[in-house]
């Protein structure tokens, strides 16, 4: 009787619990998606903001980092440099962003070096012996905090045998910040010792910089003017990278400036602690290794020919990397120049015969890159951006050869 009742009621009963669960295979991505992900090539972009040139965005304490974060969410791989990613006490890990020192980025763009992504580097720390004891201890505490709280592989530190004696100034001709270290050999000996003794393959350098007069940095603290530290910082890291071909970045050691209530948010990251070192250690911990460009390198290495687009300020097109990308004899990347990010330079693309897309701001730049990645002509997103297709007319020359000329 019970079976008969169930038989008649079955159409009104809920299905057994086990049949209401979708089979596991239903959660697998469709074959069409898997095929698409295997067939597509990763999209790689390079973001450049030159150091020490008073860039409106990227000329202060990591104020170009939001641009890098936004751009990294659009592309598969973003290659940029410490001036963009360093923000003193602030940093933001992004798994698809490569932290490449400026000299190495130039050699990469020229096709001389390749980039090899890593899981982890062994980071060594070089401290200028000109740093006072209390300030030195502050920096060592930062290194220990990075090891304990972030798990970073900072393996050893060394103090230089001679004070580096850092000097900095603004070039009156170009308006760029620059400088020198009076004892570069001391720095190179310290790096060589770390490499020999602990096999480090990335180096953070902390040089004792002259303390700033408050009046000299007032404009910078207000979010205008030139970062007077940045130029010589680049010189220091260039020196190490050129000599040893390993990732390097620099953090200046200085006494804190007096507190001011009138401070630009763009400069604030440099005033909330005793050191600029945290972001450098984070960046170097996973910075790609630099390899001499050769066909024998592994398939995971990145080459200049892998770059699909380059974005930089419109008046900063005269650098080695920008010129190398624009003059590539192979596949040329799309070069996007941003008008809003003004600098003290006057190296506009027309002076170098560069073919570029001009945009007003980074909002537009990211939109252009999104279209380019999707295989869409960026101009087709603009009103009247596409004109009628041109017809090529064959022209016969006296020598019998025929060429086609656009009309």
pLDDT, tens digit, 9 for 90 and up, residues 135-179? 999 999 999 999 999 999 999 999 999 999 999 999 998 899 999
Q: What is the tens place of the pLDDT at every residue in 68-85?
A: 999 999 999 999 999 999
Q: List, in order, residues 6 or more apart from 115 with CB less than 8 Å away.
A: 79, 98, 100, 104, 108, 288, 289, 290, 291, 301, 302
The model's pLDDT over 282-292, given as tens digits with 9 standing for 90+, comes to 999 999 999 98
Q: What is the C-alpha separation between 128 and 43, in angstroms, rounded?
A: 40
For residue 394, the model assigns a pLDDT of 66
pLDDT(12) > 50: no
pLDDT of residue 188: 98
Q: What are phi and psi of 247, to 5 degrees?
A: -60, 140
- In tens, the pLDDT along 192-251 reads 999 999 999 999 999 999 886 655 677 777 777 788 889 999 999 999 999 999 999 999
Spatial contact of 117 and 290, defined as CB atoms under 8 Å apart: no
- Global pTM? 0.85
User: Considering the domain 116-292 in this protein, what is its CATH number?
Assistant: 3.40.50
Q: Where are the domains of the chain?
A: 116-292
pLDDT at 152: 96
Task: Identify which of 81, 77, 49 has the alpha carbon closest to the alpha carbon of residue 250.
Answer: 81
């Amino acid at each position: 009787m019970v079976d008969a009742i169930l038989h008649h009621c079955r159409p009104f009963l809920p299905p057994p619990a086990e049949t209401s669960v979708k089979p596991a295979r239903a959660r697998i991505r469709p074959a069409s998606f898997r095929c698409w992900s295997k067939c597509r090539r990763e999209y790689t972009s390079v973001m450049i903001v030159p150091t020490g040139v008073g860039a409106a965005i990227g000329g202060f304490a990591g104020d170009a980092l939001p641009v890098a974060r936004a751009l990294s969410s659009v592309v598969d791989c973003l290659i940029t440099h410490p001036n963009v990613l360093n923000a003193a006490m602030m940093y933001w890990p992004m798994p698809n962003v490569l932290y490449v020192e400026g000299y190495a980025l130039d050699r990469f763009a020229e096709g001389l070096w390749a980039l090899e992504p890593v899981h982890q580097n062994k980071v060594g720390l070089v401290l200028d012996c000109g740093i006072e004891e209390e300030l030195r201890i502050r920096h060592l505490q930062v290194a220990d905090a990075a090891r304990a709280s972030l798990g970073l592989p900072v393996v050893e530190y060394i103090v230089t045998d001679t004070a580096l004696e850092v000097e900095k100034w603004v070039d009156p001709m170009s308006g760029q910040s620059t400088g020198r270290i009076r004892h570069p050999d001391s720095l190179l000996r310290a790096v060589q010792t770390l490499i020999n003794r602990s096999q480090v393959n990335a180096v953070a350098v902390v040089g004792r910089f002259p303390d700033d007069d408050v009046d000299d940095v007032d404009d910078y603290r207000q979010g205008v003017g030139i970062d007077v530290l940045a130029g010589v910082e680049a010189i220091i890291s260039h020196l190490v990278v050129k000599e040893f071909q390993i990732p390097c970045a620099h953090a200046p050691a200085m006494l804190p400036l007096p507190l001011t209530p009138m401070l630009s948010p763009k400069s604030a990251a440099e005033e909330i602690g005793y050191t600029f070192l945290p972001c450098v250690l984070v960046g170097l911990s996973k910075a790609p290794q630099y390899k001499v460009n050769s066909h024998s390198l592994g398939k995971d290495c990145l080459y200049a020919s892998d770059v699909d687009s380059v974005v930089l300020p419109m008046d900063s097109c005269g650098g080695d990397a920008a010129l190398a990308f624009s003059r590539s004899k192979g596949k040329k990347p799309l070069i996007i120049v941003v008008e809003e990010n003004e600098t003290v330079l006057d190296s506009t693309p027309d002076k170098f015969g560069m073919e570029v897309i001009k945009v007003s701001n980074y909002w537009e730049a990211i939109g252009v890159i999104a279209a380019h990645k999707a295989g869409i002509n960026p101009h087709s997103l603009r009103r009247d951006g596409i004109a009628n297709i041109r017809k090529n007319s064959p022209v016969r020359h006296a020598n019998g050869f025929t060429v086609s000329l656009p009309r």
